[in-house]
Amino acid sequence: MSRTRRLWLFFAFICVTTFCWMVMLSSQDHNIVDNMLRYSVNVVLVNKQHKFLHQRHLQQQKHEHEQHKEIIKLEQQNNKTASALNVEVAQIFDKFHRMHGEVNVSKMIFYKITTKPLNNDTHGNDFNKTSTTSKPQQQFVPKIAHIIWFYPNETEFRFHQAMSLLSLQRFFKPRKIFFWHDTLPTGRWWLFAQQIVAHFLLVPYKRPTKIFNYTVSVPEHQSDVARIQLLREYGGLYIDLDVVLLRPLDPLLEYETTMGAETPSQLGSGFILAKENSAFLKLWLDSYSNNFNDNDWNYHSTIMPMKLAKQHPQLVHIEWFSINRPNWFERDFLYRKGKLWDWSENYAVHLWYRECPDDYNPTNVREMNTTVAEVFTFIYFNERPQWKGG
Ligand SMILES: *[C@@H]1O[C@H](CO)[C@@H](O)[C@H](O)[C@H]1NC(C)=O
Ligand SMILES: *[C@@H]1O[C@H](CO)[C@@H](O)[C@H](O)[C@H]1NC(C)=O
Ligand SMILES: *[C@@H]1O[C@H](CO)[C@@H](O)[C@H](O)[C@H]1NC(C)=O
Ligand SMILES: *[C@@H]1O[C@H](CO)[C@@H](O)[C@H](O)[C@H]1NC(C)=O
Ligand SMILES: *[C@@H]1O[C@H](CO)[C@@H](O)[C@H](O)[C@H]1NC(C)=O
Ligand SMILES: *[C@@H]1O[C@H](CO)[C@@H](O)[C@H](O)[C@H]1NC(C)=O
Ligand SMILES: *[C@@H]1O[C@H](CO)[C@@H](O)[C@H](O)[C@H]1NC(C)=O
């Protein structure tokens, strides 16, 4: 190519470039240039930022991971002292049992929840109540449980009674279990219960022998009167020791009073959940002033509360199927051979133990093919049956 021609080309190139620049610079806004500049700057910045963010993300991830680990650790520690404890204890007990055959409670080391007691209550002193009249309406039933023991002195505590307490601890998680008594039980299951059940407080209690103008001498009736009075005063959950809880009662805690029907004309008194000063319990207690008959087994215990419930349905929440069913007439479903009752929806099961003297223990419950043995296996070993919900 000749020298002249190259010069021309160069000149043309300069002209075109200058023209382009002039067009760009003279355009109304300087978007294109701006954008070009910004873009090149941005590429650098974004790159930097990206690196920074990535770094920070990694740090954050690490931090969260640590935190997560920490939380899990805390939760595990917490779980050890809370709900999982029963299971753990049951496993220890089971292992011990397999290793040593016959259970000897005095040889065992138990875990026990050692959270501080609510008050200085080891001597039952926190029972002096101040006036409750000015208290606002409680939102929930207080998490305290009441057991009443009016048996002859040194009556042996039985396996099913220990299971009742264990179930109470697991599913109600009470701050306190008050054991109102005027005599004390004996036996290895009593030792077991005292060692294994947390927040268990023995409170000496003089059983009532009079209600209004009537003498009460049948221990079951004395216990009925005492449970109504205690629940009126403190609120909480009362259960008979042949009632076993099977799941948490949380959906029931907002009602002022909850009881379970046995039949369409009977409300069982073996399970009562109530806030303090329950109006329904007041009515029930007041009903004792009218024709109480110590010789009538059921009237004031079960028939009267159902009558009252029908007159004042707004005062009591009735669970029709999930507490006292199977009922007395259906108790064979618990004790006859075969898994005959699906209790996956039950809050509790009433064992009607008085008439069912079979002696269950950790060895035979696994082999016995009955619904009640299934319940005990669930409580003692935490082995769920294969129901739809289980
Ligand atoms: C703690 O217990 C709860 C309820 O039993 C359970 O959901 C949770 O996974 C447990 N946490 C750990 C870390 O074991
Ligand atoms: C249980 O163990 C204690 C202490 O080892 C012992 O004194 C007691 O005799 C044992 N009881 C039974 C029933 O084996
Ligand atoms: C519990 O008792 C101890 C010693 O008797 C006392 O120092 C403490 O203040 C008490 N705590 C409460 C909450 O009453
Ligand atoms: C509770 O009341 C009894 C008798 O009324 C009294 O002797 C006792 O000191 C009281 N206890 C407390 C902690 O107030
Ligand atoms: C129960 O029996 C024990 C042991 O024999 C005795 O110490 C206690 O005083 C008795 N209690 C009652 C209320 O009789
Ligand atoms: C108890 O009996 C007395 C005398 O017999 C009577 O005046 C009183 O009204 C009775 N009280 C109740 C609550 O029935
Ligand atoms: C349990 O008993 C029922 C009724 O007799 C029977 O059908 C079932 O096979 C038994 N199951 C076991 C595991 O023995």
Euclidean distance between CA atoms 381 and 154, whole angstroms:
28
Give the Å distance between the CA of 376 and the centre of ligand 7.
17
pLDDT digits (tens, 9 = 90+) for 17-41: 887 777 666 665 566 666 666 666 6
Ligand nearest to the CA of 367: 7
**237-266 average pLDDT score:** 94
Residue 137 is predicted with a pLDDT of: 60
| Sequence-ordered list of residues with C-beta below 8 angstroms from that of 182, at least 6 positions apart, any chain | 149, 150, 204, 205, 206, 207
Average pLDDT score, the chain: 79
For 160, other C-beta atoms within 10 Å of its C-beta total 23
Report which protein residue has its CA nearest ligand 1's atom 14. Answer: 76
**91-101 average pLDDT score:** 54
Amino acid at 304: M
Report which protein residue has its CA nearest ligand 4's atom 13. Answer: 125
Helix, strand, coil fractions of the chain, as percent rounded to 5 = 45, 15, 40
Residue 366 is predicted with a pLDDT of: 85
Q: Could you say which of 3.90.550, 3.40.50, 3.40.1350, 3.30.160 is the CATH number of the domain covering 110-127+136-381?
A: 3.90.550
Give the Å distance between the CA of 140 and the centre of ligand 1.
25
Question: ∠ at Cα 168 (224, 96), nearest 5°?
Answer: 130
Evaluate the CA torsion angle 217, 219, 220, 223 in order and state its sign: positive
Tokens standing for 352? 């009607």
Burial of 88 per CB tally in 10 Å (0-12, 13-18, 19+) = middle
Name the residue with tokens 């007159």.
311
Residue 4 is predicted with a pLDDT of: 83
Among residues 84, 110, 78, the alpha carbon closest in space to that of 95 is found at 110
Crossing angle of the two packed helices 31-80 and 84-100, in degrees rounded to 10: 40
Confidence of residue 279 (pLDDT cuts 50, 70, 90): very high
Residue 21 is predicted with a pLDDT of: 76
Give this prediction's pTM.
Answer: 0.62
Name the residue with tokens 């009167």.
225
Euclidean distance between CA atoms 370 and 368, whole angstroms:
6
pLDDT digits (tens, 9 = 90+) for 136-188: 566 889 899 999 999 999 999 999 999 999 999 999 988 889 899 889 999 98
Q: Is the N-terminal amide bond of 326 cis, ω within 30° of 0?
A: yes
Report which protein residue has its CA nearest ligand 4's atom 11. Answer: 125
pLDDT digits (tens, 9 = 90+) for 60-84: 778 777 766 765 665 565 545 444 4
Residue 51 is predicted with a pLDDT of: 80
